[in-house]
Amino acid sequence: MPLRRLPRPALCAALALASALAVGAPTAPADWHTQATARKLTSAQMVRLERDGFVVTPQSLPRGFEALKGGQEPAFLSSDIALEAFHALLADSMEALAVTRREPLAAYLGTLWKTTNVVAASLATDPVGQRTLRHLRLTLGPALVLLGQPLDGASAEERTAIDTEVQRIRAGQSAEPPAWLAPASEDPSLAAQERIDYAGMSPVGFYTRTPELADLFRATRWLQSVPFRARIDHEAVAAVLLGHQTDTAPLPPALDVWFELLAPYRSPAVSDIFVGEDFSNTGATDRSAAARKILEGRAAFEIDPARRYRTGKDAEPDRLVLHVLPAGLAADQDALNEAVAATRHSEVMPTGLILADWLGFAEAAPLAHAAGWITPKRPWVPEPSTLSEDEELNQRLNIEESLRGEVLNARTVSIAAALRPTPHDHLLALWRSLAQPPAPWAPDFMRRSAWHWKSANAALASWALTRRAFSLEQPSMCAIEFGIEDPPPLIVEPAPEFWSAFRTVVEVFEQRFRQAGLLRSYDIAEIEAASLACKPGDTSVIDRLFLVDRWSALLKVARSTERLCLRQGARLPADAEDKRLISFLYDSLFFATTGQGYGFMGSNGQVPPDLAPQVVPVWSNPVTRATLHAAVGRPRWMWVLYPWEGRPVLCRSAALTYFEFTEPDGLRVTDAEWKARLDSKTPPPQPAWLQPLFGP
């Protein structure tokens, strides 16, 4: 039986009995103080190193894996370095997916626009129909213009109104709703869904790289923002008309996969409505009632992540709001909303401390409570499914039936949880694994406060990078060479729950990108053709081909680290497979992170581009228009004093860095602005509650 499948009690017993040399065991130096002094650690840093078992220094790195290169000290593979590799590859894959989804989205919207032309004559016969057509045209039109598509059949008045919206979207400043949109609800929870925030349509991350990607971002956010409300007759009819069209023209696969990755708890979309043929034969006077009936049926089975309305017999279709493209309703966002709402103060801004508490970091709870925050309900954590697809489908139907008439909660039941966990569910499990108690064989310093906050910092940095999911630079090298004849000694962070969850996350995302068609085999002829087609300095087409190799490398890292962690913890002797894994692990990590394949040890002498500083707006206050930003700085050197064979061993490693700050008036900080702040003479401090990790 593989070690990773052993029940935890059996595993603990095995670890207690095992007594052989560990995989890749380092040789303890005579005096770690000598090595620390040679590495220019200060006296205060050495005091912290001896007291806490590790120290994070102010010295930064372009990439975390750089800490593993060179030097005589053993390397300590931290969860931070593994997470950085995953997010670098995730960002590059998300950019490739954005490129591939632009044309399918334009074609999908073009099909919906043609539907408005088909029904235009019948809608023009009554006031509700006229408002329905106007809502459809002014929703779809701006997105089509942004994507460079024609507006066949649009009137001069419609074109003028559409051009006005495009200008407001591009400006990205106004908070005033368009005049043609029905007023928002007075209910604050509904108003938040119905508000159109033009400032939030300003592109971020890799979407700023080209005009085409920037307009893709704007078009998508616009379609996620314009509401189709069941309680408003003409919007309800418009939603059902689009839903009727998507019965035969569903969302393209590239869009489906993208929204599953970004918005696991997604809001209802017009493509979710099952209309049937009867609606086509409904007369103008009966159209509103028929649309409302269809949406009441939709509300009856809607699993609402934000608890915005009831389902089943207590359904509240008046609270049902749909969009052309689903809007993200991530569980972490819901946790922030719940904590803010509980304060009953409309002008407060949340903090990452809430999420640290929510994810289960015990030392975060008293600090959060002292600051006046509640603990949001814990996120749902996935369990591996052992059911067949047919059994899972039957289970889902049974669960949907049993949930009728209940008020659902996103952190207990996700939309996809009834069938199978979503990628984001697995990420939640990964972050929560860092809050779990250390492994039985972990050294004592990993049970102290400083390491606890090191893990919380890593989880929050990973959360910020997940929310951002972007890349700026593309790697410039293509050769792939793996294997180090004499790899440095390696200790894997003794966190088996983390490495198991990390392997699952990598497998799930690799599968989703493969389903999206991004990861496929290629041959030399295809590489040569792509090279000839590339513009000078542009290797994006070739880079997308190599995504399959980079995910394969990261899978190798994920599976190797899980095995090595358990075998090191069990003190099992190194076998041939362990030595092979260590030999390839360094280069696999290097290639997965950068896409460069000239060798981990840096034989080409190239320094990785400075890609680390990244920032993303994560929460906006609708009253003050202040915006909370989560950010990541450059990784920092981390030195770990790891006990081995009764003696302390100084190990090289790296830690991620989490920041957060607030900007007024709906302002969004760009990566370039964030990098400039970090490089200024007065760089921004990290949150005060992370002082146990980064403090003096």
The stretches of 414-573 forming alpha helices (DSSP H) are 423-433, 449-468, 496-515, 524-533, 540-545, 547-569
Provide the edge-to-edge strand list for the sheet that holds 490-492: 54-60, 636-644, 647-655, 75-77, 490-492
Specify the higher pLDDT residue, 204 or 45.
45
Torsion, Cα of 582, 586, 589, 592 (10° steps): -110
537: left (phi over 0), alpha (psi -120 to 50) or beta: left
Rg, Å, the chain Cα set: 27
Whose structure tokens read 């005049």? 179
Is 253 part of a structural domain of the chain? yes
Q: Which pLDDT score, from 0 to 100, does residue 418 have?
A: 38
3-state secondary structure of 228: strand
What backbone phi and psi angles, to 5 degrees, belong to 266? -95, 150
pLDDT at 98: 85
CA terminus-to-terminus distance, the chain: 47
How many whole angstroms separate alpha carbon 577 and alpha carbon 584?
11
What is the DSSP-derived secondary structure letter of residue 679?
T
| Strand ordering across the sheet containing 658-663 | 614-620, 627-632, 658-663
* CA 8 to chain CA mean position, Å: 30
> Mean per-residue pLDDT for 525-540?
68
In sequence order, which residues have a C-beta less than 8 Å from that of residue 461 and are 6 or more positions away? Answer: 80, 83, 632, 656, 657, 658
**Is residue 195 a part of any domain in this protein?**
yes
Q: Look at residue 311 and tell me whether its pLDDT is greater than 70.
A: no
Please give the pLDDT value at position 313. 40
pLDDT band at 447 (very low <50, low <70, confident <90, very high): very high
Greater pLDDT, 387 or 397: 387
Q: What is the pLDDT of residue 459?
A: 95
Q: Among 64, 59, 80, 67, which Cα is nearest to 464's?
A: 80
Predicted confidence at residue 262, as pLDDT, reads 52
- Average pLDDT on 42-54 reads 93
Where does the pLDDT of residue 460 fall: very low under 50, low under 70, confident under 90, or very high at 90 and above? Answer: very high
User: What integer is the mean pLDDT of 142-156?
Assistant: 94
Q: Distance between CA 564 and CA 82 in Å, rounded? A: 14
- Between strands 636-644 and 647-655, the pairing is antiparallel
The residue behind tokens 């509300």 is 299
pLDDT at 681 over 70: yes
Least confident of 169-183, 245-259, 515-529, 558-572: 245-259
- For residue 631, being part of any structural domain is answered with no
- Residues 513-517 have a mean pLDDT of 83
E strand segments, 66-224: 75-77
Q: Average of pLDDT values for 370-377?
A: 88
Q: How far apart are CA 508 and CA 259, in angstroms?
A: 15
Q: How many CB atoms lie within 10 A of CB 184?
A: 17
Average confidence (pLDDT) over 229-235: 88
- Which residue type occupies 231? R
Integer Cα distance of 109 and 115 in angstroms: 10
Asked whether the predicted pLDDT for residue 501 surpasses 80, the reply is yes
pLDDT in tens, 323-345: 888 766 567 877 888 888 888 77
pLDDT for position 260: 62
Whether the predicted pLDDT of 308 surpasses 50:
no
- Write down the pTM of the prediction: 0.80
> Which residues span the domain enclosing 211?
102-331
At 312 the pLDDT is 39
CA distance 87 to 67: 18
Q: Average the pLDDT over 102-127 and give the result.
A: 87
Cα–Cα dist 311/326, whole Å: 19
What letters, b where the CB count within 10 A reaches 16 and e where it falls short, cover 556-567?
A: bbbbbbbbbbbb
| Residue 623 pLDDT > 90 | no
- Split at pLDDT 50, 70, 90, the class of 635 is very high
Q: What is the DSSP letter of 656?
A: -
Of 614, 469, 433, 653, the closest CA to residue 94 belongs to 469
pLDDT for the residue numbered 328: 61
- Express each pLDDT in 404-419 by its tens digit: 333 222 222 333 333 4
Residue at 380 is within a domain: no
Which pLDDT band, with edges at 50, 70 and 90, does 494 fall under? Answer: very high
Q: What is the reported pLDDT for 695?
A: 62
Among 5-9, 105-109, 247-251, 351-355, the range scoring the smallest mean pLDDT is 5-9
8 Å CB contact between 516 and 578: no
Q: What is the mean pLDDT of residues 378-404?
A: 49
367 or 174, which is more confident?
A: 367
Q: Is the pLDDT of residue 209 over 90?
A: no
Segment of 405-414, 617-626, 669-678 carrying the highest mean pLDDT: 669-678
Looking at residue 334, its pLDDT comes to: 76
- pLDDT of amino acid 15: 35
* 426, part of any domain: no
pLDDT at position 2 over 60: no
User: Does the structure show a pLDDT above 90 at 603?
Assistant: no
Residue pair 354/336 in contact by the 8 Å Cβ criterion = yes
> What confidence tens digit (pLDDT) does each residue in 157-172 have?
999 999 999 999 998 8
Q: Please determine, for residue 475, whether its predicted confidence score (pLDDT) is greater than 70.
A: no
Return the pLDDT at 521.
Answer: 79
Residue 461 has pLDDT above 90, yes or no: yes
Residue 607 in contact with residue 593, Cβ under 8 Å? no
Instruction: Determine which of 161-165, 267-271, 508-512 has the lowest per-residue pLDDT on average.
Output: 267-271
Please state, rounded to an integer, the average pLDDT across all residues of the chain: 77
pLDDT range class, residue 6, cuts 50, 70, 90: very low
* Contacts for 2 with CB less than 8 Å, ≥ 6 apart: none
Sign of the dihedral defined by the CA atoms of residues 275, 244, 329, 465, in that order: positive
Q: Alpha helices of 518-658 — where are they, by DSSP H?
A: 524-533, 540-545, 547-569, 576-594
* CA-based nearest residue to 473, from 587, 343, 609: 609
Mean pLDDT across the stretch 649-678?
91
Mean pLDDT of 638-657: 88
Q: Is the pLDDT of residue 73 over 60?
A: yes
CB 663, CB 669: distance < 8 Å? yes
Residue 309 in this model has a pLDDT that exceeds 50: no
Whether the per-residue pLDDT at 81 is higher than 90: the answer is yes
């591996």: which residue's tokens?
A: 384
Residue 287: predicted pLDDT: 81
Q: How far out from the chain centre does Cα 167 lie?
A: 30
- The pair of structure tokens assigned to 342 is 């509980």
Rounded Cα distance, 185 and 6, in Å? 54
User: Residue 296: is it exposed, middle or buried by C-beta count within 10 angstroms (0-12/13-18/19+)?
Assistant: middle
Q: Coil, strand or helix: which one is 76?
A: strand
When mean pLDDT is compared across 396-400, 439-443, 479-483, 596-600, the lowest value belongs to 479-483
Percent of the chain past pLDDT 90, that is, above it, reads 28
pLDDT at 445: 94
Give how many domains the chain has, as a whole number.
1
Q: What confidence tier does 591 reach under pLDDT thresholds 50, 70, 90?
A: confident
Query: Residue 503 has what pLDDT?
Result: 92
**Which pLDDT value is given to residue 696?**
60
Tell me the mean pLDDT in the region 85-108: 88
Residue 1 has pLDDT above 80, yes or no: no
Task: Evaluate if residue 535 carries a pLDDT over 60.
Answer: yes
Taking Cα atoms as reference points, which of 28, 244, 29 lies closest to residue 118?
A: 244
User: Half-sphere exposure of residue 360, counting CA atoms within 13 Å on the CB side?
Assistant: 14
In a domain, 403, yes or no: no
Indicate whether 150 belongs to any domain. yes
Take residue 83 and report the two structure tokens written for it: 């997470």
Which of 75-84, 382-391, 663-672 ranks highest by mean pLDDT? Answer: 75-84
Say how many C-beta atoms besides its own lie within 10 A of residue 352's C-beta: 27
> Is 550 inside any structural domain?
no
